[in-house]
Chains A and B, each alone.
Chain A
């Protein structure tokens, strides 16, 4: 499964990771090599086999819809790179 340079740039954009030129080529080669090893799965007969998302047969674990304390806002914001007036601060989303 040979990925192209454009494939890698597309994946990196979806994952929001900036790559330099050397990284694009290195990841292109490495990811292509890894995907090659996955090709054997295509030959496995999975006709009528249900997918497993989770190893335990659990569904809809419920609890009472009761209000519970959350973490104090100032303690949470203490780890924020930039906070202002009790909010996280970011750069402009829209130009």
Chain B
């Protein structure tokens, strides 16, 4: 069976349905690809090959019984902060090096119910804090388009695995851009759903008013299929939307004539690479050619404040969420000192990496007596202003279009010692995160041989509309199923 790992999930589904190959054969093909390229890419923290083949056998039985879903027998990657019963889940941290979850997350339960096959747990920045996947205790993931470069982050393993053929689709998580930015830098499609669309039950928490799980795939249809599988109400996460999920497939293949597209000028700033600006302008031309009405004169004046708002609120929430890692209940524990408090301080000193310590301390400071009003409360108020401006924009436009990232993939090591330079990678993805809005990144060409992503932001729970625009663009532009030209080695 030749190179089945090159298929998209929907192509593979067709082949499985028509009995052209089995899920076991498809899974073996992906595992062989993993064996070839994983020494270069390092997209996975834990591989689950035996489990995958077992799940593939079950999937073949389901397929034979005519009980298949679009994901039955499809090899997927799962970000390593999504807990999986009996399968080590580290969140990219030494703190959870030996953590074996006693339960399944909602999204993994749904994937399993649909019959998906898990290839492994994807590499990530520790506790999802980072934009390059260099802050992983398990070594950096490398960009399959050029292994000297970062894949983006924090879901860099999930994006690189899809780009390198080490799974067909994957799950990541997005707090400030952690799905969209690595999808852009690896030439894939990545969707951050509306806050409340996907249950966070069993997701290792970072910033609880921001975290959301979402898919990365090689085309828009695969991403829609994955969201269809994982989204919807879950009583175990009281922030999930009780309304039923719309039929997302209904939006694929529909034309976008008359669609009102706003382009906020605050996103076209100094620091954006000319190649990125050129690709976005070309993409806007394609959308106009499809009959959309593009307004390039939109202003969202508070856009520039989203970075400070996010980097106060997310670390504040993180400082509270990560207080649970005390070396008592689970995870790494240093008991070398004689008292409990010293044990705790040493556990956290040795179990957390530098970026996590930095953010915990930043959040602790922003919440501490005397600084709460100036930092945390102020950030929450400016968050309101950012949300208001989006609400006003969505009264006039169906979707907003921006670049996903100001640059293409950058060299490993280039920004790792300069935290603020790293934070600037998220400048275009943070505003939608702060407002809780859904946003997708789709490939829109290349700059100096490296993938560029276009971001499409939608209104609350309007994933259907952004998928419609993304799909129409993808069909017209042909930028899809972009496997990185990575030789075995």
**Chain B residues, Cβ within 8 Å of A81:** 327-328, 330-333, 335
Contact A38 B333 (CB under 8 A): no
Contact B382 A46 (CB under 8 A): yes
**Chain B residues, Cβ within 8 Å of A79:** 98-100, 102, 329-331
**Chain B residues, Cβ within 8 Å of A67:** none
Contact A52 B380 (CB under 8 A): yes
User: Is B138's beta carbon under 8 Å from chain A?
Assistant: no
Count: A-B pairs, CB below 8 Å:
169
User: Is B321's beta carbon under 8 Å from chain A?
Assistant: no
**Chain A residues, Cβ within 8 Å of B357:** 17, 23, 27
**Chain A residues, Cβ within 8 Å of B437:** 55
Q: Which residue of chain B has the shortest Cβ distance to A93 in the bound complex? A: B340
Interface residues of A in 56-95 (CB under 8 A from B): 56, 58, 61, 63, 71-72, 75-76, 78-82, 88, 90-93, 95
Contact B333 A82 (CB under 8 A): yes
Contact A92 B238 (CB under 8 A): no
In the complex, A88→B340 CA distance in Å? 12
Interface residues of A in 28-43 (CB under 8 A from B): 30-31, 33-35, 37-38, 40-42
Contact B196 A17 (CB under 8 A): no
Interface residues of B in 370-413 (CB under 8 A from A): 374-375, 377-385, 387
Interface residues of B in 350-381 (CB under 8 A from A): 352, 357-358, 360-362, 364-365, 368, 374-375, 377-381
Q: Known contacts being A17-B352, A79-B102, is A41 close to B340, with CB within 8 Å?
A: no
Q: Which residue of chain A has the shortest Cβ distance to B308 in the bound complex? A: A38
Contact A71 B103 (CB under 8 A): yes
Contact A40 B335 (CB under 8 A): no
User: Is A12's beta carbon under 8 Å from chain B?
Assistant: yes
In the complex, A4→B436 CA distance in Å? 35
In the complex, A27→B319 CA distance in Å? 16
In the complex, A58→B106 CA distance in Å? 21
The secondary structure that dominates the B interface is helix
In the complex, A82→B460 CA distance in Å? 45
In the complex, A37→B424 CA distance in Å? 11
In the complex, A38→B460 CA distance in Å? 28
Contact B309 A18 (CB under 8 A): no
A17 contacts which of B98, B349, B435 (Cβ < 8 Å)?
B349
B358 contacts which of A16, A27, A42 (Cβ < 8 Å)?
A27
Contact B102 A16 (CB under 8 A): no
User: Is B292's beta carbon under 8 Å from chain A?
Assistant: no
Q: Which residue of chain A has the shortest Cβ distance to B379 in the bound complex? A: A41
**Chain A residues, Cβ within 8 Å of B99:** 79
User: Is B110's beta carbon under 8 Å from chain A?
Assistant: no
User: Is B311's beta carbon under 8 Å from chain A?
Assistant: yes
Contact A34 B381 (CB under 8 A): no
Contact A90 B340 (CB under 8 A): yes
Q: Which residue of chain B has the shortest Cβ distance to A81 in the bound complex? A: B333
Contact A16 B339 (CB under 8 A): no
User: Is B105's beta carbon under 8 Å from chain A?
Assistant: no
30 contacts between A and B (CB under 8 A): A11-B361, A11-B368, A15-B319, A15-B360, A16-B344, A16-B348, A17-B349, A17-B357, A17-B360, A18-B349, A31-B358, A31-B362, A40-B304, A41-B305, A49-B385, A51-B377, A51-B383, A52-B380, A52-B383, A55-B437, A58-B238, A71-B103, A79-B98, A79-B100, A79-B329, A82-B333, A91-B337, A92-B338, A93-B340, A93-B341
Given known contacts A40-B304, A52-B381, A79-B98, what 13 new A-B pairs fall within 8 Å (CB)?
Answer: A11-B364, A17-B361, A27-B358, A34-B420, A41-B379, A42-B378, A46-B384, A51-B381, A55-B387, A55-B437, A78-B102, A90-B328, A93-B341
A interface with B by C-beta (< 8 Å): 3, 7-8, 10-12, 14-19, 23, 27, 30-31, 33-35, 37-38, 40-42, 44, 46, 49-56, 58, 61, 63, 71-72, 75-76, 78-82, 88, 90-93, 95
B interface with A by C-beta (< 8 Å): 98-100, 102-103, 195-196, 209, 235, 238-239, 241, 302, 304-305, 307-309, 311-312, 319, 323, 326-333, 335, 337-346, 348-349, 352, 357-358, 360-362, 364-365, 368, 374-375, 377-385, 387, 419-420, 423, 434-437, 460
